[in-house]
Structure 1
Amino acid sequence: MPAATAATLGPTVVLAPHPDDESLGCGGLLALLRQAGQPVWCVLVSDGTMSHPNSRKYPAPARQQLREQELRVALTELGVPAQALFPLNLPDGAVPLPEAPTGTVAVQQLVEFLGHTQPATVLVPWRRDPHPDHRATYQLAQAALAQLTPAPRLLEYVVWAWERAAPADLPHPGETQGWQLDIEPVLAQKQRAIAAHKSQLAGSPIDDDPTGFTLAPSMLAHFARPVEVYLENAPA
């Protein structure tokens, strides 16, 4: 699909399980939406604190603050205003499912937020992306959208499935239709947004946790391509 396709999606909300998922999975689309003058909002689902859980230099509140600030910088690189960020502050690594008490609360927060912003499109992680927080985010979104009439268009973006998907995690025949979006015009913006998440990259300022997470070059290579992949329910 050409880059101009982005403008047809209208006002858009992206749900990011962690700070950086918005840039990795759909940073190009977000930049194209903003170039077209479409409003964009970002819901940050988790607090992002489990990337470096053993750091003393950056205890959990400091990690949360750092990662949220990195996200704000990344959004600015994509043309999304910082005030368009809505954090849910759910626990990183333990994002609840909709039937859990905290999940029920999160669903209602999403319903209120989506009712206020009135997006035409919602972006969520692929339903079986191989990270429990990504799968839970998808389910929270589904539970919220079920309460909206009409429901926005739902597009699923890919993050961890590029590297870690088992065969059962991939789309089943007839389940979804997929398409690629040309993001060549904004690829440099997307790369700057990814680079804003410094704590998740080599040379991280959180340098006192040997077990801490950083994105491997092989993983980053998937997001240096001039296309992004989106999936949505196949027509009945």
Structure 2
Amino acid sequence: MMIDWSRERVLIFAPHPDDETLGCGGLMSKARQAGAEVYVQFITVGDTADVSPKGFSSADERHGEIKKVADFFGWRDWHIAFPGDEYHLKLDRLPRFELANAIERHSPLAISELEPSIVIAPHRTSYNQDHQVTAEAIHTALRPSNTKQRHHPRLALTYEEAADQWRYDMAPSPQLLVELNENNIDDKILAMRLYGTQIHEHPHTRSEQTLRSLATLRGMQGGVAFAEGYHVMRCLA
């Protein structure tokens, strides 16, 4: 299928800051260069103690990184639905009803408010509990109904992340490949570098070599130089 990105309003859901770039960095570069409106709805962020290069990153640091990445890509807007340590890495404790309602109607970037033509979500087979519950809540928010009563995005996709590819029940091969060029891949890498608390050296799922390798693999599968892979939840041609 051919997508005229200049006509699209794209809403990307990211459980945490950097997920949108890991999964959709090339697409965001391509879409923005064509003139698309791009919005990012983050679900949560908080202080993080992990095995990142720093070992610890504060919510304030992560907010600063978001602003740099938003300016770099030229997002039309972004928002964090459930900020703070009460929710970060604990979204599985949040009632599905509350999370789905935020995604569907109770956020400045809710589907009903923004009426996007394309919605892109994380895939439900992620190993991360925040990703899993976010994916399921978005699935609920996008449920079929009367289009005269609720907005239905024409295209609903899920993105992949290299960290999720080792599961025994991992998702099948992507159904949609978005062709990218070298500049789109460079933009994706540069944006990940702006997430300074999150990018890693190789071998790591968030390393430059991993991201380039996955884009090369997906490109090969489509007979082009580079691509990002997506799974299709809905497609109205």
Q: Same fold (TM over 0.5)?
A: yes
Counterpart residue identity of residue 65, structure 2: E
Query: Which digits, 9 at most, give the CA deviation of each residue in 1:34-66, with x for residues without a partner?
Result: 11211111011121433449xxx96xxx71121
Report Cα offsets for 1:134-175 as digits up to 9, x if no partner.
Answer: 111111111222277342121010014554322x2223xxxx
- What's the counterpart of residue 40 of structure 1? 38
Task: State the one-letter code of the partner of 2:211.
Answer: F
- Counterpart for residue 182 of structure 1: 179
Q: Deviations over 1:67-117 (max 9, x none)?
A: 122122112222214xx11101252222137xx43x422322222221111
Cα distance in 2 for residues equivalent to 1:231 and 1:22: 15
CA distance in 1, matches of 2:160, 2:7: 18
| TM-score normalised by L of structure 2 | 0.75
Aligned partners of 2:167 and 2:234: how far apart in 1?
A: 21
2:41 counterpart SS class: strand
Tell me the CA shift for residue 130 of structure 1: 2.0
Alignment counterpart, residue 67 of structure 1, candidates 53, 62, 68: 62
Q: Which deviates further from its counterpart, 104-113 or 141-150?
A: 141-150
**Matched residues in 2 for 1:133 and 1:233: separation?**
20
Runs of 4+ with deviation above 6 angstroms = none
Contact 1:130 1:160 in 2 (8 A): no
Counterpart amino acid of 1:93?
L
Q: Secondary structure, in 3 states, of the residue corresponding to 2:119?
A: strand
User: CA separation in 2, counterparts of 1:48 and 1:223?
Assistant: 25
Structure showing greater relative contact order (alpha-carbon pairs closer than 8 Å, 6 or more residues apart) = 1
**Does residue 149 of the first structure (1) align with residue 177 of the second (2)?**
no
Whichever residue aligns with residue 196 of structure 2, its letter is K
| 1:19 Cα offset (Å) | 0.8
Q: Give the percent of matched residue pairs that are identical in Structure 1 and Structure 2.
A: 21
Question: What SS does structure 2 have at the residue aligned with 1:96?
Answer: helix
Q: Which residue of 2 aligns with 1:222?
A: 210
1:163 to 1:88, Cα distance in 2 relative to 1, 3 A: same
Change in CA separation of 1:170 and 1:9 when aligned onto 2, cut-off 3 Å: farther
Tell me if 1:192 matches 2:193: no
Note the aligned Cα RMSD (angstroms). 3.0
SS at match of 1:164: coil
Structure 1 match to 2:161 = 159
Name the count of aligned residue pairs. Answer: 207
Structure 1 pair 89/233, CA: closer, same or farther in 2 (3 Å)?
closer
Distance 1:10 1:52 in 2: 37
Q: CA deviation at 1:8?
A: 7.0
CA distance in 1, matches of 2:189, 2:174: 27
Using the size of structure 1 for normalisation, the TM-score is: 0.75
- Please list, as runs of the form range in 1=range in 2, the aligned pairs for 1:110-149 lying within 5 A after superposition: 110-112=103-105, 113-146=110-143, 149=150
Conservation of the 8 A alpha-carbon contact between 1:6 and 1:32: no
Q: Residue 161 of structure 2: SS of its match in structure 1?
A: coil
Distance 1:123-1:6 versus aligned 2 partners, 3 A rule: farther
Contact kept? 2:41, 2:78, Cα under 8 Å: yes
In 2, are the aligned partners of 1:15 and 1:43 still within 8 Å (CA)?
yes
Counterpart residue type for residue 78 of structure 1 = F
> Which residue number in structure 1 is paired with residue 218 of structure 2?
none
